[in-house]
Structure 1
Amino acid sequence: MEDPDKFNIKSFKLLGGFVIEIRYQDGKVQTIDFGQIRHEGWWKELEDPEYFKKVKINEIENLEWPHGQDFKPEHLYYWEKYRQDYM
């Protein structure tokens, strides 16, 4: 079984638009364009550039927006495997 702490986010950087560079506890760096994700229902707020910029690392070290939108950390870590689930 994998160490669940490896999915914890150490830091992130907004690169412009809806692109975030994520650095994980184990040193992995992942760059994700959240603008390509389908935004339905509760996720629709993420289309607003000003709202999108309000992303923070929450108490369990995951990316989260003010109204609680977040993604499964293992899905972001293994984005190549899971990205189609969000398109």
Structure 2
Amino acid sequence: MKVVKVKAIDDYQLKITFENEEEKTFDVKPYLNKGIFTELKEPQVFYAVKTSLGSITWPSGQDFSPETLYMEGK
């Protein structure tokens, strides 16, 4: 399931639209104290999320698989 649109919203949440037009909200907070994801605590970094190759990424290289985003999204 590919990601076609992503938007960072308040409280470290991502609003994600998938190729089947389904929308889900993904909570990044559980990851913010793990490895390279700690950089996402900075709002200017977190809000720089974009789509890339059917998933999402940040300028510093953090990413999630589209499967994780879909399965854990609500």
> Which stretches in structure 2 are left out of the alignment for 5+ residues?
none
* RMSD over aligned Cα atoms: 1.5
2:20 partner SS? coil
Number of positions where the alignment pairs a residue of Structure 1 with one of Structure 2:
73
| Structure with the larger RCO, 1 or 2 (CA within 8 Å, 6+ apart) | 2
Q: Is the 8 A contact 1:17 1:49 kept in 2?
A: no
The alignment's TM-score, normalised by the length of structure 1, stands at 0.73
User: How high is the sequence identity, in percent, across the aligned residues?
Assistant: 29
Identify, as 1 or 2, the structure richer in strand.
2
> Which stretches in structure 1 are left out of the alignment for 5+ residues?
1-6, 81-87
| Larger Cα-atom Rg | 1
Matches of 1:27 and 1:45, distance apart in 2: 30
The alignment's TM-score, normalised by the length of structure 2, stands at 0.83
